[in-house]
Structure 1
Amino acid sequence: MNYFRKELGEKIYRYRKSINMSTTELAHLSRTAQSTISKIENGNSSPTIETLIKICEALGVTLHDVLPESVFPDPKQRNPYNAQLLNVLNQMSECEIELVQSFMTTNILPVLKNITPLTKALHELNAEERELLRNFINSITNITVQDKPNKREG
């Protein structure tokens, strides 16, 4: 079994398992035979590009996501934030990763549209203003229970 087929199959398997999809369901959604999916995942078969595209569409991923790393140019030429993000993900528990996946599959665009003006405004602050804001936020978030006024006291 060659390295390319093995890594391709492993990636498809991991994406399929991450969304709790069976090989039968993936076969149905990609209009492929279940035995073909099994052979691909086990590294015993190289799919045609058409089949691979259908599998990626069914999994909700791109070709870039499933192709082996050796297919891509030198990682130093890639976006430096990718490696940082991968490091963060590698340090997360399975439960935390599942939570991130659920956020990614939820339509958060309306929330992001509301946050965007705030992030732009924060970005425009100078260093002194950022420090003042940070201190203010810390001061209001560090209030202990005993510091909070009791509703019964008035």
Structure 2
Amino acid sequence: MDILVLIGRVLFALPFLAFAANHLTKTQYMAGYAQSKGLPAAKPAILLSGLLLLLGGLSILLGIWADLGALLLVFLVPTALVTHAFWKGDSPDGRQAEMTHFLKDVGPAGAALMLLAFFSFVGDELGLAVTGPLFDID
């Protein structure tokens, strides 16, 4: 079971680490996109979201307070609401594209919430992790 959880942690974390790299290395481009969506203080928001993606992804990948890492990734819900408001789109194609991006944010956020509960429930029994969970959710 431990190896399956480790493989799952790796597969779950990899996209977040790739997204973090984009946020932190293509900040200007991503801030322009965020600003076009009406996000105030777009550049600091992109840097903060990149940091959350990096910390959350690494935490889950390495098993260092993986429950906290999962919680950090829940920021994807407000991000989806602000930057991918598909219901505001002008064209059917634009609405569809934004809905796809919206769902690609909220789906992993839901999985992160489940991981938060799972890591907390399993506690130190997780195995193949550096630390146990930070939170004790019953």
Identify, as 1 or 2, the structure richer in helix.
2
Instruction: Say which one has the larger Rg.
Output: 1
Same fold (TM over 0.5): no
Q: TM-score, normalising length from structure 2?
A: 0.22
TM superposition score normalised by structure 1: 0.20
